Amino acid sequence: MILQVKDGNYFYKKAKNPDAQKLLYANDINFELHPGQILSILGPNGAGKTTLLKCMMGLQDWKRGATLLDGEPLSNMNSKEVWTKIGYVPQASSMTFSYSILDLVTMGRAVYIRSFAQPSKKDYALALEALDSVGIKHLAEESCTSVSGGELQLALIARTLVAEPEILVLDEPESHLDMQKQKIILQTIKRLVKEKGLACVINTHYANHAFYLGDKVLMVAKEKPVITGSVSEVMTEENILNYFQIEVKRLRHELDGQVYETVVPTYFGNDTY
Ligand SMILES: Nc1ncnc2c1ncn2[C@@H]1O[C@H](COP(=O)(O)OP(=O)(O)OP(=O)(O)O)[C@@H](O)[C@H]1O
């Protein structure tokens, strides 16, 4: 499925001045994403990354422009149609309900279960399969309150996958996780996108993760034009300085046929403070 955002823009009404309509993005947002591609969205706090995801999925209506799925405006679809096509993993929050992990993931089948009906054996089997695909089937009977943040994040990804979406949207899925859990989350996302041919949009605060995930980057900051392009086009030292006010060096290293690319802040190489 091809995901397109055409001329999208948004403004929030301000309590102090409800008539002001200052657009959040300095220029309208345009991008197109094909099956098997990942778009990383990068920008400073408050730049509008979460708002972009919400507008893109129809949780908030674009004030300008539209989202199209295979050329059809999302605004023409009912919510069931939208949520069978799009799977959304919001920013992690701690669970206060003691569902089992299996029940949590089975809830992801809700779009396929008739009102007041119980999940079927097939729904539970698919939930177990989704847990297996993110590597935590062994936690199926654990309570959501007793697993770690990383394990819960993987369960939330499984809950999204069980609805068999064609587009996967994740809001900072690797935040608050240790490096090993980040690795599991990123590898799982990349593998699932390639195996299932999903189009994936991911908000991240980690420049290096955009390099790892590959494909495309959209960079946004207040009062700056939104830029989109390939990782190597967008993740330049100049753009990172302009959009994040931080000087970096972009490093490329080849070892045993592998290419490692990353950016390192120059203050790391400087012992004055
Ligand atoms: N419900 C709201 N009402 C008014 N303003 C809002 C609302 N939600 C967000 N904003 C403002 O819109 C701007 C963009 O917010 P958004 O949450 O999209 O940014 P973000 O890039 O995702 O930030 P972060 O990286 O900190 O999560 C911010 O200035 C924020 O204060």
Conformation bin of residue 36: beta by default, left when phi > 0, alpha when psi is -120 to 50: left
pLDDT digits (tens, 9 = 90+) for 21-45: 889 999 999 999 999 999 999 999 9
Q: Hey, which of 11, 40, 51 would you mutate to test ligand 1's pocket, going by the most ligand atoms within 8 Å of its Cβ? A: 51
Residue 270: phi and psi, rounded to 5, are -135, 125
pLDDT, residue 106, reads 94
pLDDT, residue 91, reads 80
> What is the value of ipTM here, to two decimals?
0.98
Could you list the beta-strand ranges (E) of the chain.
Answer: 3-9, 29-33, 38-42, 64-69, 72-73, 86-89, 167-171, 199-203, 216-219, 227-230, 248-255, 258-265
pLDDT, residue 131, reads 94
Tokens of 198: 């999903």
Question: 3-state secondary structure string, 222-257?
Answer: CCCCCEEEEHHHHCCHHHHHHHHCCCEEEEEEEECC
pLDDT, residue 95, reads 62
Determine the atom of ligand 1 nearest the C-alpha atom of 220. Answer: 21
pLDDT digits (tens, 9 = 90+) for 69-111: 999 999 999 998 999 999 999 887 666 678 899 999 999 988 7
Nearest CA to ligand 1 atom 29: 46
Positions in the chain whose pLDDT score sits under 50: none
Q: Is the dihedral of CA 89, 92, 97, 103 positive or negative?
A: positive
pTM confidence score: 0.92
Determine the atom of ligand 1 nearest the C-alpha atom of 51. Answer: 18
C-alpha gyration radius of the chain? 20
The label of the residue with tokens 């007793």 reads 146
Q: Hey, which of 42, 49, 220 would you mutate to test ligand 1's pocket, going by the most ligand atoms within 8 Å of its Cβ? A: 49
pLDDT, residue 184, reads 87
Calculate how far, in angstroms, residue 94's C-alpha sits from the geometric centre of ligand 1: 21
For ligand 1, whether the C-beta of 47 sits within 6 Å is: yes
Nearest CA to ligand 1 atom 7: 12
For ligand 1, whether the C-beta of 87 sits within 6 Å is: no
Nearest CA to ligand 1 atom 2: 12
Smallest CA-to-CA distance from 220 within 55, 21, 15 is with 55
Separation between Cα atoms, residue 266 and residue 176, nearest integer Å: 24
For ligand 1, whether the C-beta of 78 sits within 6 Å is: no
pLDDT, residue 24, reads 95
Calculate how far, in angstroms, residue 52's C-alpha sits from the geometric centre of ligand 1: 10
For ligand 1, whether the C-beta of 49 sits within 6 Å is: yes
